[in-house]
Structure 1
Amino acid sequence: MPRFTVNELSQYPPCPLRIIFAPPNDPDAGTVPDILALYRLYSLPGAFVSESLRDVAISFGTTNVDEGPRYTWFHFLYKSLPITDMNGVKRIKNQIQARRKGDQPEDFGWVHSAYCLIENGSSEVTLIIFNSEPLLYERFRTISEHTPYEETMKDPYCLLNVVFEILYERIDMLTWTIANVFTQEEMKILHMARDPELNGGDVDLPEIHMIQRHQIYLREAIESITVTLDATIDHQQRLNEGSTSISPSHNATQAGLRYRKVLIKSTDLRLRSMGKRTQNTINMAFNLVTQADSRVIKEDSGSMKKTAILTMIFLSCTAVAYTIKNGERPRKTNEKGFMGSDAQVEAFSEASFKFIDDKYK
C-alpha cells in the first residue's frame, strides 16, 4: 500500500475517484498532525469528528446541502476477541492473567473504524476510511483492477456496499470463533453430566462467563451494523425520490445492501441460538457443582453419624468399666438430700446393671 502524507496528498491534482486509507481517528501523539490536516483538507463535518472522539457504537450521518460536497459517514465499533491455544484447546484469553504475562493491552480493547463518503457533484467522489480492516484494502484493489471507475461513479454508494461486506465477514468470523470455543466447553459439561463419577468442581465457570460476555459484545456490534445498514438503504432511496428513471447501478447497490442485511440477520440468529445454549449450559454447570457439593455434605454427614454411634458405645462401656472397677459403694447424700457426683455415677451404674440383668437374665 503506497503511503503519503497529507501534504503530499494535497498536491495531487483532483481525480474522479479516490479512496484514502487513514490511521485510526483516535490518534496518538505521532499521528495527531496528519489527522488534523486531513480533517482540514476535506473539511470533514464537526459531527463526524465528535463521534470519533466519543467512540460511538451506532452512527450514521449526512449533510444535505444544495451547494458544495455532500458527506455521508458512519462509525463501527466491536470488541476484539483474543484467543489462545492450549494443547489444541482454544480458549479466550484471561485479561488479568495476560497482563501479568505482559501481553499487549490492545488484544483486549475495542476496534473502532470510521467511513466518510464525500460526493462533490457527479465529477468527484472520495471515500476516507479510518482504521480499515486489512481485507478491505485488498478488496478495493481487486475491484479497481477489474472494474472501470466510471461504473463506480454512477452510484458511489456501491463503495459502502463493499465496506458492509467486509464488516459482515469480520463479525461472522468472530461469531464462528466464539462458537468453536463454546462448543468445547459445552461438550465437556455434557460429558460430566453423563458420568456421575466425574467431579462437578472441574467446571470452568470463568471461561463460560467470558464466552457469554463476548456474545453480548457481538450482539451489540450486530445490532449497530444493522441499524447503520438500514439507514444507508433509506438514505439512498431518498436520494432517488422523484427521479423518472433509476439507474441499474442504483438497483444493484440496493440489492447488494439488502443482501448484506439478510446475511447479518443470519449471523444474528446463530448468535441468539448460541446465547440460549450458553444459558442452558450455565444452568447445567451450576447443577453439577451443586450435586458435587451435596455428595461432599452427604459424606460428611455419614462420618458424623458414625462418630456419634461410636461415642455412644464407648461412653456406655466407660461407665460400666468404672462401676466394675470401683465396686459397690453406699450412697452418699449431701445435707439437702441430693446425691453428689459419686452418688450420681453409682446410681447410673446400678441402673445399667439392672438394665443388663433384666435384658439378659
Structure 2
Amino acid sequence: MSTVTQNGTELAALCSSNNNTQVSDDLALDVFQWSQGVQVGQYYNLQQVSLLGSLPPCDLRVILAPLDIQFNYETRGLPALFKYYEFPESFILERKHSVTQAFGTNEWNDGAMCSWLHFLCKNIHIDRTSSPGNPDKCEIVNVIPNTIALRQADYSWLRSGYLLKRVPRVSANTSINGSSSSSATVQPLPDLVTLICFGAPDSLKQRCNRLLRGQLWENFLSDPYALFTMVIEELFFQLDHSAWNLSDAFGTIEHRILTSVDRPGQAADHVDFVSLHTIAKAITYLNEGVDAMLLTLEDMAATYDEKMSQPATTSAINLKAEIRHRRGLFRSTRLRLQSLEKRMSNIINLSFNLVTQQDSRVVQRDSSVMKIIAVVTLFFLPSSTIATIFGTQFFNFGDFGNGTPEFKVSSYFWIFWLVSICTTGAAFVVWWFYYRRIKRVIQKRDVARQSGV
C-alpha cells in the first residue's frame, strides 16, 4: 500500500536525524484493544514494536506511544512503528516541522484509509506555594531544566499527534447450519480500526482504561471518527486548563497593581512590565492553539461530510453534533482569552498612566526646587552684578594721601563696555547662525520623509 508521495524520504531523514542513536525495534507502547463477543477489553504493555504482531486479533486497538518530536534513545523504535503501520509521509513531515494545525487523510487501493491530526499549544505551569511574605502566590514557572526564563514565563509546550487507520477485512462465508454449502451467507466483518497516539495526555489513558469494561467502544466501529472527538475533548481540557492558569497568574498581577493605585507616587513601583509582556505573549500563543483546533474541527467535519454515506445514519448525525459541540468548547475558551486580552490592555494602559503620573510628580518636585533656586538667584543677581563691576580696576576708592576720601573712575572705563557689548553680540550671532542651520536640516529631513526618499 503506497502512494506517489510515499517514497520513504521523510522516514529515512528521521532515521538519520541523530547519528548517535541507532534505529531499533525497542519502543514502550501501551496497547488497548477490544473484540466483539468479548466482555472485557485487553491491555498490554509492550516494549517492542514487533510484539504487535503477536497480539490476538481484535476489532479496535488504541496505541499510546511516546512523543515523536525527538529521535533519541527512548524513541529509537518510532521508525519501526511508522513502517509497521505504513504511516503517510505527510504525518512525518508535519511532525518534523512542528505544525500548529493539520488534518490530513490518505486512502489506499485496497480500501484502507487513515486520517491524522497534530496538536501544539502553549503550556502554562503555576506555582501556588504560599509563603509568609507572599500568601497569595500564583506565578507562572518554567519547567524546562537548564534554561534561564523571564519572569512569568514558561517555555514548555503541549504537543501530541494522532493517526486513525481503518483497514477493511475479508468477509467470512458460513452456511446457516454452520457447514460450508451452496447456501452459504456472507457475514461482513467490521473494519479493523486502530488509533495511534503520540504524547497523548494521561487523561486519555485513563479514559481508555474505563472503556475496557462495557460495550461503549463498539460505537467507534461504526464511526471511527468518534475516536477523534474523544481525543479532541481531552485536548480541550489541556488547553482550557492552561487558559485558566494564565488567567489566575494575571489576576494576581492585576490585583497588585489595582491595590497600589491608592498610594500616589508608589504605584509605579508595583508595575512589572516584563511579567505583563510574557503573559501577553502567552495569550497570543493560546489564541493560536484555539484557532488551530477550530480549523482542525472544520477540516474534520468537511472530510466526514465527504465520506458520509447518504442518507445519513443516526450515528453520523450524532457524530456531527459532537463535532459542533467540540467547536463550542474551543469557542468558549477563545472568548475567555479575548476577555483576558481586554483586561490586559486596561492594566497596561493603567500602568503607563501610573508611571507617567509618578514621572510628572518627580518633574513637578524638581521644578519647584528650580523655582526656589531661580528666585534666590534673581534676588542676589543685581547686587552681585554691581559688586563685580565695582570690584574691577576701573574704580578707585581711597584718600590718596590727603586724608580726604575720594572716588575716581578710570578714563578707560569705556573699554569694559566695548568688550562686553562685542562679546555678547558675537555670542548672539553665532547662536543665530547655528539655529538657522539646524532648522534647515530639520526641514530638509521632513521634506525627504514626506516624499518617501
TM-score bracket relative to the smaller structure: 0.7 to 0.9
Identity %: 31
Q: Secondary structure at the match of 1:76?
A: strand
- Greater shift in the superposed pair: 212-221 or 246-255: 246-255
Could you tell me which of 107, 114, 120 is aligned with 1:64? Answer: 107
Q: TM-score, normalised by structure 1?
A: 0.84
Give me the whole-angstrom Cα distance separating, in 2, the residues matched to 1:257 and 1:97. Answer: 38
Indicate the structure with greater helix content: 1
Q: Give 1:99's aligned residue.
A: 147
Deviation readout 1:211-236 (Å, 9 max, x if unpaired): 11100000000000001011112222
Match of 1:89 in 2: 137
Once the two structures are superposed, what CA deviation does each residue of 1:233-286 show, in whole Å capped at 9, x if it has no partner?
Answer: 222222114x24x33322222221111111111111111121122112111111
1:45 to 81, 88, 106: 88
Query: Are the structure 2 counterparts of residues 171 and 330 from structure 1 closer, same or farther at C-alpha, using a change threshold of 3 Å?
Result: same
Structure 1 residues 165 and 112: CA distance shift in structure 2, 3 A: same
Decide whether the 8 Å contact of 1:82 with 1:108 is kept in 2.
no
Which 5+ residue runs of structure 1 have no aligned equivalent? 342-361
Query: Displacement, 1:319?
Result: 6.1
Match in the other structure for 2:327: 261
- Give SS of 2:194's match: strand
Distance in 2 of aligned mates of 1:73 and 1:200: 50
Could you tell me which amino acid in structure 2 is paired with residue 238 of structure 1? E
State yes or no: 1:36 paired with 2:79: yes
Please tell me the root mean square deviation across aligned C-alpha atoms, in Å: 3.0
Higher RCO (CA 8 Å, separation ≥ 6 residues) = 1
Q: Is residue 2:177 matched to residue 1:109?
A: no
Counterpart mapping for 1:190-229 below 5 A: 190-229=258-297
Q: 1:248 to 1:186 in 2, by over 3 A?
A: same
Residue among 338, 342, 354 paired with 2:415: 338
Q: Distance in 2 between matches of 1:94 and 1:120?
A: 43
**Equivalent position SS for 1:25:** coil
Contact 1:92–1:210 under 8 Å retained in 2: no
1:12 and 2:55 are equivalent in the alignment: yes
Using the TM superposition, give the Cα deviation of residue 31 of structure 1 relative to its aligned residue in structure 2, in angstroms: 3.3
Whether the aligned pair in 2 keeps the contact of 1:116 and 1:128 (CA below 8 Å) is yes
2:256 & 2:331 partners in 1: Cα distance?
Answer: 30
Instruction: Note if contact 1:71-1:117 (Cα within 8 Å) is conserved in structure 2.
Output: yes
Of the three residues 95, 114, 118, the one matched with 2:165 is: 118
SS in 2 for 1:31: coil
Does 2:360 align with 1:294? yes
State which drifts further: 52-61 or 174-183.
174-183
SS in 2 for 1:146: coil
* Secondary structure of 2:68's aligned partner: coil
Instruction: State whether structure 2 residue 191 is matched by structure 1 residue 133.
Output: no
Contact 1:25 1:130 (C-alpha < 8 Å) held by counterparts:
yes
Give me the TM-score of the superposition, normalised by structure 2.
0.68
For 1:312 and 1:329, the matched residues in 2 are separated by 29
SS of the aligned residue for 1:33 comes to coil
| Counterpart residue number, 1:79 | 122
Secondary structure class of the residue paired with 1:183: helix
More deviation in 44-53 or 12-21? 12-21
Quick one: which amino acid aligns to residue 269 of structure 2? Answer: G
Contact 1:27/1:35 (<8 A) preserved: no
